[in-house]
C-alpha cells in the first residue's frame, strides 16, 4: 500500500499541513489528503511500529482534521480517522449472523499428533507431500470483520460460531484495524475476515497497574483483558485498553466484475490494479500478504511456508523456544494447508476445518503447596495477601510467592493453607493461582484468617463498602513510608536513577532516611562508609538526586503517590495550575471540572491537600529546591503577547512558519485564521500577497517584519 515514493510524498504533505495549520481554505480544499496523511501515520505507528512524526505533530494534525470537520460537518466521511471515537454508549449488542460459521481448530500437542494429521491430509488429497503455512496462534479473543466497497461495515464477536454480537463501535477503537481498506484493488467487493484481538504484554501490565491504582483487582492475563473488552458499554473504556488485532483468515469474499473488468481504453487492455492479485488470492500465505498490503496487521512477517510435516515440526519447536521474546502472548502455532483449492477439497467437520490444526505449546502450569499467607502493606496502606508456596519451576522461572489480591479473591478461589494449588504463568506475566485442588485435601488444611490490625504498625484496618481491600490508614506506618519513598524515586515518577528499592530499604533500616523529603538531605559521608558504596556510585546518586529537582511538576505530582492519581491525571492536574500549592485552593467541584477527574479522584486530591502532614512535607520539598511551578504555563501567563493575535504571511527568512507560530503562542499570543479587524499583528515575510493588501486597509492592524516580531519575543 505504501512504497518509498508515496511514503516520501505523504511525509511532505504532513509537513505542508503542519505549516498551513491556520490556512482554513487550503485545509478544506485538501481535507481528503489530510485524512490520507493521518491514516498513513496511524499505519506507521500501529502496524509498523515505526512512526515518522512526533506524537505532538500527529496530535496537531488530528486536531486540525477534527476542527475542520466540526466546522464543516458535510465533509465528514465514514472512514475518517476521527470516526473511531464512539461518542455514545453501547445499548446492548445486536445479534448478527456470520457470513460463514466461525469454526474452532483441532488441537495437537506433540510431533506424533502432527505426523498423524499430515498422514490423514495426504490420504485425503492423494498427495505425496503438502505445502503448509505456519503462523502463531494468538491468545486473545476472536473477531470477524466485514468490509463492503472498501469500508468496514461490521465487526462481530465469535458467539456460538454461527451468530455473534455486533461490536463495531468497540472495534473501531482499535487503531490497527483500518476503517477502510483498498480491497477493490484486488477486485473484491465484500469480504469477511477473521482475527484475534489481543493486548500486548506491556499494555497488559500498564493496564493492571492502573486498575490496582484505582483500587480494583488486577486481571489474570492479557487474554481475559482482551476478551473482557469486546463487550464493554463505553467505547472510550475500550480505547483506554490499548488493544491490537491480528487478522489471519479470509472466510469469504465476493468479486466485483466491474472492478475486475475495468478497461484502459487508451492502451486497450484491462486494468488490473494489482498485478499479483490473481496469485495472491490462490493461497493462504497470499491472502495474508493481501491483508498486509491492505493495511492490516496480518502475520505476514511471522508466517512461514514449508513443505512436508518434518519442516513443520522443526519450525513449531523453534518458534516455541522464542515465544517469550514476543511482545504478545501466543499459546501455540497454527498449521494450515497453503493451497486454497486444496483446502476446499478437504472440507471441514462441524467442529473444525480438516485443512488446519493448532499445535499447542506446553502449558505453563504446575501444582505446588500453599504454605502460608503473608500480609504486605503497600504505599496507599492497602493490605495485600501474598501466598507463600513451595518453590516450583514454571515457564522459565522459579515461583515461591504469588499475590492473591484480597479477601474476596481468596474466597472465590476457595484457598486454604496447606492446599495443593494449580498455578499458571503466561509468558512474562505474573504467575496466578488458577484454583485449589480441593479433592486432594486431607482435613489438615486451615482457613485463611484476614488480620484486623496492620501487620506492620498494629493500627486498626478499615475497608470502604465499595472496595475489596482492607487498608491501614496510619500514614506514618513504616511500611507505607518505605513504599512511598520507593514510588517517589521510581522511573515513571522522579526517576532518581541509582536510588532504587534496595537502597531505599537499606537507608531506611539504617535510619539514614525517614521520609520523602529525607531524599534531599542524605548524609553522604555516612553512606560512603557503607559496603558497596564507592566514590563513583555516591557521585552518581548525588547527581541523580540533584537532577530530580528539575523534574517537571507533573512528575512531582505523580511521585507524591496521591491515591487514584496516575501519570495521566498528574499531567491534568499540573496543567490546571501555575504552582503546586494552587491545588490547595481548589474545591472538589473545581477539581471535578478537569478532564477525566471523577468524584473519587477529586475527593482523594482534595483530602491530600487538606492534610497537615502532607502540606508540611510539601513545604520541605519546596525548600529543598524542587520544581513547584508549571514552567510552561508560567511563560504563557507572563508572556508579553497575552491577548494579542498574530498572523504570518509571505516567506520568513529566519523561522519556519510553524516555528514562528509556536513562538508567538509560547509568549501568550494567539494565531488568527485570517485578516480581520480582530487581528493585532501581521508579520510580513518576502512576497507577501493579498493578506498584506487587506491588512493595509484596516488601520488597527500593526504590520511588522520578522525581525520586529523576534524582538517582541526576546
Does 356 interact with ligand IVH (rule: CB under 6 A)?
Answer: yes
Q: Which residues contact 613 (CB under 8 A, 6 or more apart)?
A: 475, 476
The residue among 156 and 356 lying less far from ligand IVH, judged by its C-beta, is 356
Give the interface segment with ligand IVH, choosing from 136-144, 173-181, 393-401, 685-693 (CB under 6 A): 136-144
Nearest approach, Cβ of 334 to ligand IVH (angstroms)? 4
| Coil, strand or helix at 407 | helix
**Sequence-separated contacts (24+) of 479-483 with Cβ below 8 Å:** 479/376, 479/377, 479/378, 479/454, 480/377, 480/378, 480/379, 480/380, 480/381, 481/508, 481/514, 481/515, 482/508, 483/377, 483/378, 483/379
Nearest approach, Cβ of 351 to ligand IVH (angstroms)? 10
Side-chain half-sphere CA neighbours of 271 within 13 A: 11
What is residue 601's DSSP assignment?
A: H
The residue among 104 and 568 lying less far from ligand IVH, judged by its C-beta, is 104
Question: In which element (H, E) is residue 146 found?
Answer: strand 141-148
Does 657 interact with ligand IVH (rule: CB under 6 A)?
Answer: no
Nearest approach, Cβ of 186 to ligand IVH (angstroms)? 21
The residue among 103 and 475 lying less far from ligand IVH, judged by its C-beta, is 103
The residue among 141 and 601 lying less far from ligand IVH, judged by its C-beta, is 141
Question: In which element (H, E) is residue 138 found?
Answer: strand 131-138
Nearest approach, Cβ of 133 to ligand IVH (angstroms)? 10
From 138, 328, 470, 507, residue interacting with ligand IVH (rule: CB under 6 A): 138
Nearest approach, Cβ of 671 to ligand IVH (angstroms)? 49
Rounded CA separation 107/114 (Å): 9
Burial 216-248 (b: 16+ CB within 10 A, else e): eebbbbbbebbbebbebeebeebbbbbbbbbbb
Q: What's the gap between Cα 558 and its chain centre?
A: 19
Rounded CA separation 506/57 (Å): 44
Q: Cα torsion at 271, 276, 277, 283 (round to 10°)? A: 160
The residue among 250 and 399 lying less far from ligand IVH, judged by its C-beta, is 250
Give the interface segment with ligand IVH, choosing from 2-10, 130-138, 373-381, 517-525 (CB under 6 A): 130-138
Nearest approach, Cβ of 459 to ligand IVH (angstroms)? 50
Rounded CA separation 189/148 (Å): 6
Give the interface segment with ligand IVH, choosing from 137-145, 585-593, 680-688, 703-711 (CB under 6 A): 137-145
Between the CA of residue 381 and those of 219, 455, 463, 616, what are the distances in Å?
A: 21, 11, 11, 20
Residue 544, C-alpha cell as written in the block:
541523580
Nearest approach, Cβ of 688 to ligand IVH (angstroms)? 59
What is residue 357's DSSP assignment?
A: E
Burial class (CB in 10 A: 0-12, 13-18, 19+), 341: exposed
What is the spatial order of strands in the sheet that 330-337 belongs to?
A: 106-108, 356-360, 330-337, 131-138, 304-307
From 52, 103, 434, 703, residue interacting with ligand IVH (rule: CB under 6 A): 103
The residue among 193 and 404 lying less far from ligand IVH, judged by its C-beta, is 193
Question: Are the C-beta atoms of 620 and 652 separated by less than 8 Å?
Answer: no
Residue 236, C-alpha cell as written in the block:
472510550
From 192, 196, 483, 661, residue interacting with ligand IVH (rule: CB under 6 A): 196
Nearest approach, Cβ of 190 to ligand IVH (angstroms)? 18
Burial 85-105 (b: 16+ CB within 10 A, else e): ebeeebeebeebebbeebbeb
Nearest approach, Cβ of 251 to ligand IVH (angstroms)? 7
Does 709 interact with ligand IVH (rule: CB under 6 A)?
Answer: no
Give the interface segment with ligand IVH, choosing from 131-139, 215-223, 519-527, 540-548 (CB under 6 A): 131-139
Rounded CA separation 364/431 (Å): 10
Does 194 interact with ligand IVH (rule: CB under 6 A)?
Answer: yes
Tell me how long the chain is. Answer: 714
Instruction: Using CB positions, name the residue nearest to ligand IVH.
Output: 142
Q: Pattern of binders to ligand IVH over 214-253, x per CB under 6 A?
A: ----------------------------------xx----
The residue among 103 and 430 lying less far from ligand IVH, judged by its C-beta, is 103
The residue among 78 and 362 lying less far from ligand IVH, judged by its C-beta, is 362
Q: What's the gap between Cα 156 and its chain centre?
A: 22
Nearest approach, Cβ of 514 to ligand IVH (angstroms)? 53
**Catalytic position from the list 137, 201, 336, 413:** 137
Give the interface segment with ligand IVH, choosing from 68-76, 98-106, 228-236, 670-678 (CB under 6 A): 98-106
For the chain, what percentages of helix, strand and coil (3-state, to nearest 5) are there? Answer: 40, 20, 40
Give the interface segment with ligand IVH, choosing from 353-361, 373-381, 450-458, 546-554 (CB under 6 A): 353-361
Nearest approach, Cβ of 492 to ligand IVH (angstroms)? 33
Rounded CA separation 444/579 (Å): 60
Q: Cα torsion at 486, 492, 496, 499 (round to 10°)? A: 40
Does 358 interact with ligand IVH (rule: CB under 6 A)?
Answer: yes
What is residue 259's DSSP assignment?
A: H
Give the interface segment with ligand IVH, choosing from 19-27, 206-214, 350-358, 453-461 (CB under 6 A): 350-358
From 14, 142, 242, 604, residue interacting with ligand IVH (rule: CB under 6 A): 142
Nearest approach, Cβ of 101 to ligand IVH (angstroms)? 9
Does 135 interact with ligand IVH (rule: CB under 6 A)?
Answer: yes
- The pairing of strands 141-148 and 151-157 is antiparallel
Rounded CA separation 437/434 (Å): 10
Burial 441-466 (b: 16+ CB within 10 A, else e): eeeebeebeeeeebebbeeebeeeee
Does 137 interact with ligand IVH (rule: CB under 6 A)?
Answer: yes
The residue among 334 and 426 lying less far from ligand IVH, judged by its C-beta, is 334
Q: Pattern of binders to ligand IVH over 149-188, x per CB under 6 A?
A: ----------------------------------------
From 53, 133, 334, 559, residue interacting with ligand IVH (rule: CB under 6 A): 334
Rounded CA separation 69/150 (Å): 22
The residue among 103 and 713 lying less far from ligand IVH, judged by its C-beta, is 103
Give the interface segment with ligand IVH, choosing from 52-60, 351-359, 389-397, 664-672 (CB under 6 A): 351-359
The residue among 124 and 692 lying less far from ligand IVH, judged by its C-beta, is 124
In the range 482-521, which residues lie near ligand IVH by CB under 6 A? Answer: none
Give the interface segment with ligand IVH, choosing from 133-141, 376-384, 385-393, 663-671 (CB under 6 A): 133-141
Does 353 interact with ligand IVH (rule: CB under 6 A)?
Answer: yes
Rounded CA separation 106/501 (Å): 48
Q: What angle do CA 624, 627, 631 make, to 5 degrees?
A: 160
Does 192 interact with ligand IVH (rule: CB under 6 A)?
Answer: no
Does 323 interact with ligand IVH (rule: CB under 6 A)?
Answer: no
Q: Report the sign of the C-alpha dihedral through residues 83, 84, 86, 90, in that order.
A: positive
Q: Is 137 annotated in the active site?
A: yes
Q: Pattern of binders to ligand IVH over 57-96, x per CB under 6 A?
A: ----------------------------------------
Nearest approach, Cβ of 258 to ligand IVH (angstroms)? 30
Residue 137, C-alpha cell as written in the block:
496462534
Catalytic residues: 137
Instruction: Return residues touching ligand IVH (CB under 6 A).
Output: 103-105, 135, 137-138, 142, 194, 196, 248-249, 334, 353, 356, 358
Amino acid at each position: 500500500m505504501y512504497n518509498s515514493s508515496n511514503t516520501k510524498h505523504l511525509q511532505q504533505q504532513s509537513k505542508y499541513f503542519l505549516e498551513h495549520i491556520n490556512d482554513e481554505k487550503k485545509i478544506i480544499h485538501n481535507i481528503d489528503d489530510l485524512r490520507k496523511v493521518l491514516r498513513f501515520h496511524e499505519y506507521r505507528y500501529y502496524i509498523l511500529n515505526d512512526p515518522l512524526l512526533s506524537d505532538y505533530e500527529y496530535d496537531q494534525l488530528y486536531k486540525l482534521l477534527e476542527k475542520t470537520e466540526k466546522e464543516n460537518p458535510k465533509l465528514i466521511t465514514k472512514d475518517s480517522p476521527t470516526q473511531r471515537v464512539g461518542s455514545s454508549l453501547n445499548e446492548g449488542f445486536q445479534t448478527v449472523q456470520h457470513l460463514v460459521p466461525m469454526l474452532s481448530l483441532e488441537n495437537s500437542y506433540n510431533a506424533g499428533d502432527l505426523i498423524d494429521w499430515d498422514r490423514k491430509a495426504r490420504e485425503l488429497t492423494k498427495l505425496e507431500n503438502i505445502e503448509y503455512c505456519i503462523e502463531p496462534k494468538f491468545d486473545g479473543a476472536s473477531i470477524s470483520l466485514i468490509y463492503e466497497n472498501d469500508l468496514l461495515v461490521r465487526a462481530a464477536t465469535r458467539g456460538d460460531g454461527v451468530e455473534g454480537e455486533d461490536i463495531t463501535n468497540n472495534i473501531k477503537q482499535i487503531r490497527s484495524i483500518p476503517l477502510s481498506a483498498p480491497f477493490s484493488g484486488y477486485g473484491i467487493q465484500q469480504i469477511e475476515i477473521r482475527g484475534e484481538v489481543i493486548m500486548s504484554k506491556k499494555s497488559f501490565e500498564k493496564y493492571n497497574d492502573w486498575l490496582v491504582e484505582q483500587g480494583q483487582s488486577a486481571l489474570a492475563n492479557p487474554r481475559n483483558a482482551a476478551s473482557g473488552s469486546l463487550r464493554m458499554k463505553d467505547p472510550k473504556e475500550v480505547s483506554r485498553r490499548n488493544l491490537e488485532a491480528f487478522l489471519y483468515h479470509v472466510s469469504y469474499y465476493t468479486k466485483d466484475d466491474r472492478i475486475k473488468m475495468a478497461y484502459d481504453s487508451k492502451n486497450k487492455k484491462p486494468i488490473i490494479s494489482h498485478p499479483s492479485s490473481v496469485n495472491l488470492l490462490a493461497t493462504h500465505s497470499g491472502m495474508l500478504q493481501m491483508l498486509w498490503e491492505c493495511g492490516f496487521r496480518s502475520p505476514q512477517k511471522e508466517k512461514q511456508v514449508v513443505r512436508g510435516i518434518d519442516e513443520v515440526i522443526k519450525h513449531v519447536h523453534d518458534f516455541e523456544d522464542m515465544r517469550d521474546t514476543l511482545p504478545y502472548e501466543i499459546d501455540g502455532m497454527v498449521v494450515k494447508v497453503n493451497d486454497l483449492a486444496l483446502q476446499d477439497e478437504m472440507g471441514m467437520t462441524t467442529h473444525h476445518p480438516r485443512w488446519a490444526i493448532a499445535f499447542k505449546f506446553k502449558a505453563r502450569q504446575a501444582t505446588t503447596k500453599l504454605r502460608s499467607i503473608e500480609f504486605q502493606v503497600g504505599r496507599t496502606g492497602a493490605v495485600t495477601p501474598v501466598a507463600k508456596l513451595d518453590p516450583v519451576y514454571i515457564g522459565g522461572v522459579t515461583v515461591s510467592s504469588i499475590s492473591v489480591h484480597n479477601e474476596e479473591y481468596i474466597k472465590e478461589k476457595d484457598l486454604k493453607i496447606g492446599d495443593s494449588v494449580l498455578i499458571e504463568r503466561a509468558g512474562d506475566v505474573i504467575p496466578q493461582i488458577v484454583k485449589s485442588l480441593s479433592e486432594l485435601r486431607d482435613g489438615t488444611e486451615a482457613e485463611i484468617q484476614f488480620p484486623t490490625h496492620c501487620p506492620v504498625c498494629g493500627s486498626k484496618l478499615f475497608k470502604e463498602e465499595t472496595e475489596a481491600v482492607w487498608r491501614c490508614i496510619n500514614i506514618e506506618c513504616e511500611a507505607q513510608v518505605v513504599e512511598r519513598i520507593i514510588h517517589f524515586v521510581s522511573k515513571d515518577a522522579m526517576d532518581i536513577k541509582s536510588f532504587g528499592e534496595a537502597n531505599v530499604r537499606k537507608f531506611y533500616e539504617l535510619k539514614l532516611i525517614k521520609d520523602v523529603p529525607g531524599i534531599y538531605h542524605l548524609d553522604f559521608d555516612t553512606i560512603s562508609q557503607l559496603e558497596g558504596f564507592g566514590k563513583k556510585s555516591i557521585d552518581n546518586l548525588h547527581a541523580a538526586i540533584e537532577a530530580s529537582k528539575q523534574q517537571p511538576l507533573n512528575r512531582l505530582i505523580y511521585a507524591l503517590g496521591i491515591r487514584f492519581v496516575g501519570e495521566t491525571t498528574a499531567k491534568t492536574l499540573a496543567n490546571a495550575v501555575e504552582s503546586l500549592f494552587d491545588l490547595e485552593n481548589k474545591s472538589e467541584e473545581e477539581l471535578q471540572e478537569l478532564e477525566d477527574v471523577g468524584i473519587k479522584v477529586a475527593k482523594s486530591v482534595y483530602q491530600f491537600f487538606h492534610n497537615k502532614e502532607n502540606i508540611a512535607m510539601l513545604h520541605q520539598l519546596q525548600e529543598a529546591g524542587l520544581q513547584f511551578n508549571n514552567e510552561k504555563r508560567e511563560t504563557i501567563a507572563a508572556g508579553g503577547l497575552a491577548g494579542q493575535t498574530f498572523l504570518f504571511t509571505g516567506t520568513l527568512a529566519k523561522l519556519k512558519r510553524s516555528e514562528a507560530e509556536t513562538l508567538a503562542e509560547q509568549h501568550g499570543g494567539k494565531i488568527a485564521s485570517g485578516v480581520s479587524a480582530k487581528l493585532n499583528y501581521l508579520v510580513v515575510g518576502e512576497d507577501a500577497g493579498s493578506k498584506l493588501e487587506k491588512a493595509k486597509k484596516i488601520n488597527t492592524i500593526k504590520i511588522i517584519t520578522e525581525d520586529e516580531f523576534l524582538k517582541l519575543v526576546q
